[in-house]
Amino acid sequence: MKIHNLNQLNRRAVGCLLGISVFGLAVCGPAYAAETIKIGSVLSITGPASFLGDPEDRTLKLYVDKINAAGGVAGKKIELVVYDDGGDANKARTFATRLIEDDKVVAMVGGSTTGTTMAMIPAFEEAKVPFISLAGAIEVVDPVRKYVFKTPHTDKMACEKIFENLKQRSFTKVAMISGTDGFGASMRAQCLKVAGDYGIQIVAEETYGPRDTDMTAQLTKIKGTAGVQAVVNPGFGQGPAIVTRNYAQLGMSGTPLYQSHGVASKSFIELAGPAADGVRLPAAALLVGDKLPDSDPQKKVVVEYKQAYEASAKQPVSTFGGHAYDGLFILVDAIKGANSADSGKVRDEIEKTKGFVGTGGIVTMSPTDHLGLDLSAFRMLEIKGGDWTLIQPGS
């Protein structure tokens, strides 16, 4: 066994040397560390989805340090290996192989976007390594794949939550303006699919590109469509902020505007400014932690996370970082439950997650449900006076 290890180390050294001589560069990972549990993460820390990957990265590092300071998991320290895919699915796929083959991680918490997640899934399924994704789209867990889980609410749930609210206000004619990035396109498709269930008719549909800076043309067309009672904007990043500002510019604020859970961070309110007033959106309890009643089981978790994150990152908390928090602790609990760092056993334990209180909701997974959240995990919020408020059910 020892000899085998030595041999492997030698081969690694030779590989590095040849890597240097042939490619002109070293492609050497860190050497073996014996008594740690390795958790991998591929995140979009830079690039167009950095507003997802950046808080996820900060959250994982913050809490792995905390866990290790408190003695680690089952007596072992956690070693976190993070790679930045820059939002590029092809790069993410290579880093997935690197985590599996080179770093030999027990499990992975990562995959900021649906695009990078879907590209990495084949690698993890084949290697039988559990993968807890932080991406939004429902296709990550539907159909269920043995080794793939996810923590964020699905885009389908967001549509349902919005439509439920529209139905309560007896609105039926709705216009939709969606981003053409992965998030917007996927949510748009889900919304079109479930609209009928709520008696909602989509009477106008517009899109905008991920880097567009002006959506007045699209909104003007919606404004000119007769009978629009509400507008829904599936999108994330800066796009929805610009939509919201243009919306106010065109004097459309009389018609209710619904954003998605893709804008669930304070920076949206900051960017959209006074135009954000009156905008509604479905979001996790995290955003309104301090406004939750004390009886709410999530209150303790979300308030603690918010304080810890904002103290360390010096920026407002977002639900995106919260998804990483949930993923990390579902995994840590599973490792504790399995009392082992064996990928297969950890996978079985993740699937048995029951009543886990996270920032996104209360998670109960099963062999047929690798998300474990229901609609109650979403709260309908309205922005008032530059802050989130919980709206009363039925209004």
Partner 1 sequence: MRHWRREFSRRHIDIGGRYASMSEFLQFFFSGLTVGAVYALVALGFTLIYNASDVVNFAQGEFVMLGGMVTVFASAAGVPLPLAALIAICVAVAVGLLLYWLAIAPARGASAVSIIIITIGASIFLKGGAQVAFDKQFHKLPSFSGDAPIDVLGASILPQSFWVLGGTLAAVLILYVFLEKTLVGKAVLATSANRLAARLVGINTATIMALAFGGSAAIGAIAGILVTPITLTSYDVGTMMALKGFAAAMLGGMGNPLGAVVGGLLLGLLETLGAGYVSSTYKDGFAFVMILVILFAMPQGLLGRRTVDRV
Partner 2 sequence: MTTLLNNRYAILAALAVVIAVLPFTFPSNYYLRVASLVWVSAFAAIGLNVLMGKAGQVSLGHAAFFGIGAYSAAIGPAHLGLPSWASLAIGACISGLLAYFVGRPILRLKGHYLAIATLGFGVLIALVITTESRWTGGPDGMPVAKLTVFGWRIGTAYAWYWLSAAFLLVGAWIALNLDDTPTGRAFLALHDSEVAARVVGIDVAALKLRAFVIAAVYASIAGSLLAMMNGFVNPDLAGFQHSVELVTMVVLGGLGSIVGSIVGAAVLVVLPQALTVFQEYENLMLGFIIIVSMVFMRDGIVPMISKLIARAR
- Asked if 236 contacts 181 with a C-beta cutoff of 8 angstroms, the reply is yes
Pairing of strands 379-384, 387-390: antiparallel
Output 160 or 181, the one with its CB closest to partner 2. Answer: 181
- Asked if 56 contacts 43 with a C-beta cutoff of 8 angstroms, the reply is yes
Residue 133: helix, strand or coil by DSSP? strand
Shortest distance, CB of residue 207 to partner 1, whole angstroms? 5
Output 121 or 317, the one with its CB closest to partner 2. Answer: 121
Residue 134: helix, strand or coil by DSSP? coil
Pairing of strands 356-357, 280-283: unpaired
72, with CB counted inside 10 A (0-12, 13-18, 19+), is: middle
- Asked if 107 contacts 341 with a C-beta cutoff of 8 angstroms, the reply is no
CA 227 centroid distance within chain: 35
Token readout for 7 is 């041999």
State the binding partner of 69 from partner 2, partner 1, none, CB within 5 to 8 A by kind: none
Output 189 or 203, the one with its CB closest to partner 2. Answer: 189
Please tell me what DSSP assigns to residue 153: P
Q: With binding defined as CB under 8 A, does residue 197 bind partner 1?
A: no
Q: Which of 38, 39, 42, 50 binds partner 1 (CB under 8 A)?
A: 50
Residue 229: helix, strand or coil by DSSP? coil
- Tell me if the bond preceding 55 is cis, omega within 30° of 0: no
Binding characters for partner 2, 23-42, by CB under 8 A (x = yes): xxxxx---------------
Total residues contacting partner 2 by CB under 8 A comes to 48
Between residue 336 and residue 395, which ones bind partner 1 under the rule CB under 8 A? none
Between residue 180 and residue 209, which ones bind partner 2 under the rule CB under 8 A? 180-182, 185-186, 189
Cβ atoms within 10 A of the Cβ of 177, count?
Answer: 27
Shortest distance, CB of residue 259 to partner 1, whole angstroms? 15
CA-wise closest residue to 371 among 336, 332, 333, 327: 327
- Asked if 41 contacts 53 with a C-beta cutoff of 8 angstroms, the reply is no
Output 24 or 224, the one with its CB closest to partner 2. Answer: 24
Which span (4-12, 241-249, 282-290, 354-362) binds partner 2, by CB under 8 A? 4-12
- Asked if 114 contacts 337 with a C-beta cutoff of 8 angstroms, the reply is no
Q: With binding defined as CB under 8 A, does residue 84 bind partner 2?
A: yes
Which span (15-23, 70-78, 264-272, 360-368) binds partner 2, by CB under 8 A? 15-23
Q: With binding defined as CB under 8 A, does residue 79 bind partner 2?
A: no
Shortest distance, CB of residue 178 to partner 1, whole angstroms? 10
User: Which residues lie near partner 2 (CB under 8 A)?
Assistant: 8, 11-12, 14-15, 17-19, 22-27, 45-46, 82-84, 86, 88-91, 93-95, 97-98, 100-102, 113-115, 118-119, 121-122, 126, 137, 139, 180-182, 185-186, 189
User: Which residues lie near partner 1 (CB under 8 A)?
Assistant: 45-48, 50-51, 54, 180, 206-209, 211, 213-214, 216-218, 220-221, 224, 237-238, 241-242, 248-251, 267, 270-271, 273-275, 315
